[in-house]
A and B are shown apart, each in its own frame.
Chain A
């Protein structure tokens, strides 16, 4: 992605104001940013829904897996990029009566043979721990269960690029960790993963690179530990983990040396505070 600018149709200002971003196969890239920074817009731009279905004007270049998004059809983009949308409720097709059929829907449309389809649905369901929901209606689920089904429906397509817009927002803590473990597994198999998240502790543990999106541009990039220890995290609206906040406070009160590298995760914090 180079020099990407985008404004929604009829909007008087741009949401993306010059985004440069690259993600390699096998990488988990985290993107954080304040509400309104343009995260969902960026997610949709990578996945081709912007500008293909939302309209509006996108300038600059988006290339995914060798394909120029602007010149391709949405179908071509979708075959390479999977987008897990922010509100799982809106991702449900509405065409299927059971969770099993819902998860299989994408493969069915590609004409994948029944046996293979069934095997893949079982595998994904087992990985996400949702096999017991298979015979339910996709609408007769709790919010978190629906979110797991939405993730399953994308994962099963095995896209080369997986874009996830706050995929764990409604998941319980174990479910959130499970999804991040799965994401690391997909990256190990060569998938490029872009994950938009507010859960900083999990990003520190699972993302290879972290970018901050602020006012429509990438304001900072680096390892999660570097980025999240940056004094500007509050200014960007990104916040900080309780580990970081506790260390900052301890430094203020001279309980830790001013030169302490700020901890972001439990492991970091244990090292800092056990001294």
Chain B
């Protein structure tokens, strides 16, 4: 069965009365790498928290594969959707990294020896080799963020949602997360990532949703989305660095990566 995400007419109002999503319809085919960008408070986190059942729609529906999230709880949805929190301190609770990363698979009923193997593999992928016995409290924020990532990778869910995965990461950390996204996609998993890093977004995703004020205001490939300057402005977003440069240079073709930039430079030489 295909693990498509289908969001239809989604409205969400917080108990305080703030309507964070004003009617969102979007579908994400299984295996896609989708980035969500947009202004602070646009509703990005609120949207993805519907995928794993942290939030239930005020109106509309959210389907994960053949399940309507209505009537499914977080524990059930955890088998299909892994969610890495924006703030790792909301996600992490265990006293060792081994327990933290092993917690999800354990709840899914994975046998003990396989849990250990998954923990080791997930930590390696997250740049935390051999840190099983460290207390998460003693780590820097960027490391805690990667522990949160490892915890979700260990669950091997068909859908992985990353809420601002590159926040606080140094250059190596950002590159590492780009590799994780590529590997997950190569394994056929869906990756949904929220990000404010437009260069990371342009280089690592198939599709970009631009959000403002609880709505999707642009949707397309990175080259398409980053050509919608009106929408980007409304969403407090700017095109990636090299795309801004090629516009300044008056080149006609969009540029989403260093390779594409140098490729175009060559044809002009």
Contact = CB atoms under 8 A, between A and B. Distances in A.
Interface string A84-124: 00110110000000000000000000000000000000000
Nearest to B248: A270
Given A89-B87, A143-B87, A250-B265, A242 B199 contact: yes
Interface residues of A, number: 49
B61 interface: no
Nearest to A87: B141
A33 B45 CA distance: 29
Interface in A36-89: 36, 40, 86-87, 89
Nearest to B261: A246
B40 A249 contact: no
Interface string B241-269: 11011001100000000100110011001
Nearest to B250: A274
B90 to A, nearest CB: 8
Nearest to B18: A140
B164 A143 contact: yes
Contact of B45 (A142, A169, A172): A142
B240 interface: yes
B167 interface: yes
B196 interface: yes
B40 A145 contact: yes
A258 B221 CA distance: 35
B50 to A, nearest CB: 15
Interface residues of B, number: 45
Interface in B135-193: 140-143, 164, 167-174
Contacts, number: 133
A238 B262 contact: no
A221 B245 CA distance: 27
Given A35-B142, A40-B140, A239-B170, A140 B265 contact: no
A198 B258 CA distance: 19
A1 interface: no
A245 interface: yes
A266 interface: yes
Contacts of A36: 140, 143
Contact of B41 (A144, A246, A255): A144
A255 B241 contact: no
A239 B171 contact: yes
Contacts of B198: 173
Given A34-B170, A173-B236, A273 B196 contact: no
B87 A273 contact: no
B103 to A, nearest CB: 22
Contacts of A40: 140-141
Contacts of A140: 14, 16, 18
Choose among A137, A234, A245 the residue with the greatest number of B CB atoms under 10 Å from its CB.
A245
18 contacts: A34-B171, A35-B169, A35-B172, A87-B89, A136-B18, A143-B164, A144-B41, A145-B41, A170-B196, A172-B40, A172-B236, A173-B196, A174-B238, A175-B40, A237-B171, A242-B199, A243-B245, A246-B242
Enumerate the 7 nearest inter-chain pairs by beta-carbon distance, A residue then B residue, closest first: A239-B171, A144-B40, A174-B236, A242-B241, A172-B236, A35-B170, A35-B142
